[in-house]
Amino acid sequence: MEAIFEVTQRPNFPELLQTHIVLSVVSLLIAIAIAIPVSLAVRNTPLGSAIAINIGNVGRAVPSIAILALALPVLGFGFAPSLLALTLLAIPPILINAATGLKEVSREVVDAARGMGLSEAQILSRIQLPIAMPVIFAGIRTSAVQVVAAATLATFIGGGGLGELIVEGLQRSDTPVLLAGSFTIALLAIATELIFGGLERAFTPKGLRLARKKK
């Protein structure tokens, strides 16, 4: 146990942790910046949202190591190819949830808002977005946890991150290094899940929370 703890005191440990977090956060932000506008653009066209959701579903079926490995022959080794691969991985869950959440805001509610004279922008910001928000955030949470996990694999294409400890531990049969890497990554993923779970609750509009409690 002590030996595991010692590994976290090594001079390169903060750097690995930092790379891991930077890779995860930046790719998640880029993915949000791509997936949300796309979902907004297709929100009122059933065909558009169906296409977006299906692309998302196929994207989710591609194994994460496959996306990272495929970045290798096209973009080479390093941080940037890892970042791009992780971004591609982060998009599908957000896209699926945002497109589904916006699509499933009931037609009647939107029609009622239109009848009350709200503009399209007002309908979006006051009706569609708040109602879809919990579903959108659930997608972002799934994506965040998935990216933290996949960032572990970035080490295989030279992207750095905590996965390096697992690889080093395995190659040298150094159990403390292996376990230090594994436990840190596990804790990071669990922390991500908890943080985003909290955000999801915080962003659920009060009305929806009350409606859920009643059930």
Partner 1 sequence: MSRINLLQTYGPLIEWDWISENFVEDILPALQGHIFLSAVSVAIALAISLPLGILAARYRTAYAPVTFVTGLLYTIPSLAMFGILITVPGIGIGPRAVIVALVAYSLLVLIRNVVAGLDAVPPETIDAAKGMGLTPAQILFGVELPLALPVIVAGIRIATVTIIGIATIGAYISGGGLGKMIFDGINRGFPTMIITGAVLATALAIVADVSLLAVERRLRPWARTRRA
Q: Residue numbers of the site for partner 1 (CB under 8 A)? A: 57-58, 60-67, 69-70, 72-76, 145, 148-150, 152-153, 156-157, 163, 166, 169-170, 175, 178-179, 181-183, 185-186, 189-190, 193
DSSP string, 74-138: HH-SSHHHHHHHHHHHHHHHHHHHHHHHHHTS-HHHHHHHHHTT--HHHIIIIIIHHHHHHHHHH
Closest CA to 93 of 43, 57, 134: 57
Which of 49, 128 has the CB closer to partner 1?
49
Which of 60, 114 has the CB closer to partner 1?
60
Q: How near is the Cβ of 164 to partner 1 at its closest, in Å?
A: 11
Residue with tokens 């159990």: 175
Residue with tokens 């169906």: 50
What phi-psi label fits residue 118: left (phi over 0), alpha (psi between -120 and 50 degrees) or beta?
beta
Q: How near is the Cβ of 67 to partner 1 at its closest, in Å?
A: 8
Q: How near is the Cβ of 152 to partner 1 at its closest, in Å?
A: 5
Q: How near is the Cβ of 163 to partner 1 at its closest, in Å?
A: 6
Which of 113, 164 has the CB closer to partner 1?
164
Sign of CA dihedral 28, 34, 40, 46: negative
Which of 87, 184 has the CB closer to partner 1?
184
Q: How near is the Cβ of 183 to partner 1 at its closest, in Å?
A: 7
